[in-house]
C-alpha cells in the first residue's frame, strides 16, 4: 500500500451516498488481486459546502469530490465557489442522472470529471481520481510554462524595443551630428581655397585646424556607431580566466589616467574564475575606472575600490569610488546610449555599451549612488 495516500475531501449531504463512496474506495485498496492495490486513499467527509470550505482553509487535499446540490449551496454556484477556493486542485462532480447537463457544464468550466451516483464502482472511482490528479497537474505545469513564456516574450519585447530605440537614436545622432562637421568642412574648404590663393599662411593654418577638428568629431561619432553595432557580438570562444588577471590588465591600460589623477586603487584578493570574452570585460573595467576618475571632483587623492561579493547565490563584481556621485534624476537615464548632458555624454555612452557587454554575457549591471558620496557600479558575470 502507498506510503502517501491520496487525500480526498468528499462534500456530500447524503450519508448513504457518502458511505457508498467510502466503501468503493475501501474495496479498491483491500482487493489484493486488483491492479491498483498499491493505491491508498484518505477520505474526509463534510456534509455541506461551508464546512468543506472551512476544512480547505486549514488542510490541503489532493482532490475534491462534490455534490453540486447541498443544503447551503445549489447547482453551478457550488462549483464556482469551490473552484475559487482551490483553483489549483482537481474537482470531480458527483451528480444524479437528471443533473448530467449541469455536471457537463462544470467540466467545461474546469472540473476534471463527473460521476453519476449509482453508476460508480471502486475501480471507476479510483481511476477517475487518479486521472483527475494527473490532468490537473499537467494543466498547472502547462499554465506555469505558458506564464513563463509570456513573461520571457514580454521581457524580450521590452529589450528589443530598447535596442530599436537605441538604433533610432544612433541613426538620428549620426544624421544630425554629422551634418555640423560636414558643413564646417565644406565651408572652410571654401575659405581655404581663397586663403591659399591670397597666400595668407596664418589664415591657412586656422582653416586647416578647424577642418581637422570637424574631422575628429566625425571620427568620434563613427567609432561610437561601430561600437554599438559590434557590442552584441562576442568572440567565438569565451575564455576561462581568473577575474583578477582581467583587473590587472585593465589597470595597466588605465595606468596613465590613474597616475595623472593620483587616484588610489584598492583591489580585492582571491577573485573567482569567470568564463568571458576577456577583451570585452577589460574594456568594461577600463571604462568604469576612467568614469570614476572623470567624476572625482575636487577629492584628492580619490579612492577607487575594485572587488566582488557573494549576494543571493551569485557573485557580484563592483567598482566603487568616493567622487561626485550621480544625481537621482540623471540615474534614470545613465545607461541610455545618447543621453545628452555636457561632458557626461561620452561617459554615458561608455556605460551604455558596458552594460550591453555584460548583458550579452548573461549578466546584469546597475548603479548605487548618492550625490557627493560616491558611486558604485555593480555587475554579474557567469562563474565557473
- CATH code of the domain in which 257 resides: 3.30.565.10
Grid cell locating 233: 557580438
- Runs of H (alpha helix) within 118-200: 122-177, 179-198
Tens digit of each residue's pLDDT (9 = 90 or more) over 236-263: 568 899 999 999 999 999 998 899 899 9
Cα 8–Cα 10–Cα 15 angle in degrees, nearest 5? 140
Residue 36 has a pLDDT of: 47
Q: Check residue 154 and give its pLDDT.
A: 87
Answer yes or no: is 105 within a domain. yes
Task: Say if 373 falls within a structural domain.
Answer: yes
Residues 19 and 108 occupy one common structural domain: yes
Distance CA 373, CA 12 (A): 68
For residue 17, the domain's CATH number is: 3.40.50.2300
- pLDDT value at residue 38: 58
The model's pTM is: 0.48
Of the candidates 122, 144, 166, which is a domain's last residue?
Answer: 144
Quick one: 277 and 365 in the same domain? yes
Tell me which residue has cell 491492479.
35
Q: Which pLDDT score, from 0 to 100, does residue 318 have?
A: 97
The answer to whether 337 and 169 are in contact (CB under 8 A) is yes
Q: List beta partners, residue 43.
A: 8
Answer whether residue 46 is part of any domain: yes
What whole-number distance in Å separates Cα of residue 381 and Cα of residue 362? 7
Do both 224 and 283 map to the same domain? Answer: no
Amino acid 264: pLDDT: 95
For the chain, the 3-state helix, strand and coil shares in percent, each to the nearest 5, are 55, 20, 25
| Cα dihedral value 280, 286, 292, 294, nearest 10 | -110
- How far are the Cα atoms of 70, 77, 240, 315, 378 from residue 363, in angstroms, in the given order? 56, 50, 16, 10, 10
Together in a domain, 225 and 293: no
The verdict on residue 160 lying in a domain is no
Residue 265 within any structural domain of the chain: yes
Pair 291, 225 in one domain:
no
Q: Where are the beta strands (DSSP E) in the chain?
A: 6-11, 41-46, 63-67, 91-95, 113-116, 239-242, 264-267, 273-276, 303-311, 314-321, 365-369, 375-380
Give yes or no: residues 124 and 28 share one domain.
yes
Do residues 129 and 184 both lie within one domain?
A: no
Count of the separate structural domains present in the chain: 3
Any domain includes 334: yes
Range of the domain at 30: 6-144
**Cβ-contact 333, 327 below 8 angstroms:** no
**Same domain (yes/no): 204, 265:** no
Q: What is the pLDDT of residue 344?
A: 42
| 213/278 same-domain check | no
Ranges in the chain, pLDDT < 70 = 1-3, 30-39, 97, 166-180, 220-221, 223-237, 337-349
Q: In what helix (H) or strand (E) does residue 203 lie, and over which residues does it extend? A: helix 201-231
Together in a domain, 283 and 345:
yes
Same domain, 287 and 198: no
Query: In this structure, are 280 and 368 located in the same domain?
Result: yes
What are the strands of the beta sheet with 303-311, ordered from one edge?
264-267, 303-311, 314-321, 375-380, 365-369
Does residue 51 lie in a domain region? yes
By CB atoms closer than 10 A (0-12, 13-18, 19+), residue 269 is exposed
Residue 167 lies in a domain: no
Amino acid at each position: 500500500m502507498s506510503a502517501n495516500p491520496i487525500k480526498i475531501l468528499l462534500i456530500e449531504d447524503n450519508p448513504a451516498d457518502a458511505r457508498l463512496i467510502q466503501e468503493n474506495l475501501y474495496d479498491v485498496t483491500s482487493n489484493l488481486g486488483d491492479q491498483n492495490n498499491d493505491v491508498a486513499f484518505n477520505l474526509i467527509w463534510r456534509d455541506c459546502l461551508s464546512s468543506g470550505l472551512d476544512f480547505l482553509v486549514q488542510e490541503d487535499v489532493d482532490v475534491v469530490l462534490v455534490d453540486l446540490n447541498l443544503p447551503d449551496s445549489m447547482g453551478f454556484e457550488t462549483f464556482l465557489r469551490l473552484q475559487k477556493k482551490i483553483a489549483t486542485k482537481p474537482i470531480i462532480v458527483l451528480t444524479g442522472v437528471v443533473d448530467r447537463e449541469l455536471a457537463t457544464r462544470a467540466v467545461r468550466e474546469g472540473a476534471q470529471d463527473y460521476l453519476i451516483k449509482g453508476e460508480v464502482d471502486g475501480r471507476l472511482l479510483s481511476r477517475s481520481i487518479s486521472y483527475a490528479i494527473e490532468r490537473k497537474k499537467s494543466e498547472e505545469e502547462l499554465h506555469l510554462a505558458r506564464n513563463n513564456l509570456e513573461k520571457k516574450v514580454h521581457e524580450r519585447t521590452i529589450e528589443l524595443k530598447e535596442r530599436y530605440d537605441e538604433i533610432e537614436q544612433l541613426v538620428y545622432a549620426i544624421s544630425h551630428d554629422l551634418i555640423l562637421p560636414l558643413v564646417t568642412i565644406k565651408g572652410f574648404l571654401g575659405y581655404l581655397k581663397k586663403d591659399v590663393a591670397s597666400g595668407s599662411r596664418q589664415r591657412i593654418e586656422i582653416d586647416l585646424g578647424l577642418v581637422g577638428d570637424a574631422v575628429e568629431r566625425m571620427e568620434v561619432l563613427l567609432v561610437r556607431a561601430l561600437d554599438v553595432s559590434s557590442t552584441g557580438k562576442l568572440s567565438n570562444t569565451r575564455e576561462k580566466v581568473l577575474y583578477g588577471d582581467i583587473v590587472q590588465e585593465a589597470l595597466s591600460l588605465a595606468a596613465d589616467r590613474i597616475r595623472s589623477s593620483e587616484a588610489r586603487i584598492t583591489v580585492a584578493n582571491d577573485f573567482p574564475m569567470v568564463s568571458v570574452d576577456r577583451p570585452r570585460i577589460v574594456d568594461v573595467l577600463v571604462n568604469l575606472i576612467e568614469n570614476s576618475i572623470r567624476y572625482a571632483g575636487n577629492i584628492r587623492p580619490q579612492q577607487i575600490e575594485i572587488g566582488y561579493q557573494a549576494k543571493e547565490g551569485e557573485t557580484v563584481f563592483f567598482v566603487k569610488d568616493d567622487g561626485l556621485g550621480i544625481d537621482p534624476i540623471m540615474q534614470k537615464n545613465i545607461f541610455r546610449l545618447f543621453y545628452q548632458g555636457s561632458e557626461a555624454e561620452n561617459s554615458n555612452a561608455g556605460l551604455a555599451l558596458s552594460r550591453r557587454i555584460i548583458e550579452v554575457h548573461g549578466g546584469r549591471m546597475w548603479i548605487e549612488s548618492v550625490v557627493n558620496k560616491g558611486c558604485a557600479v555593480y555587475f554579474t558575470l557567469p562563474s565557473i
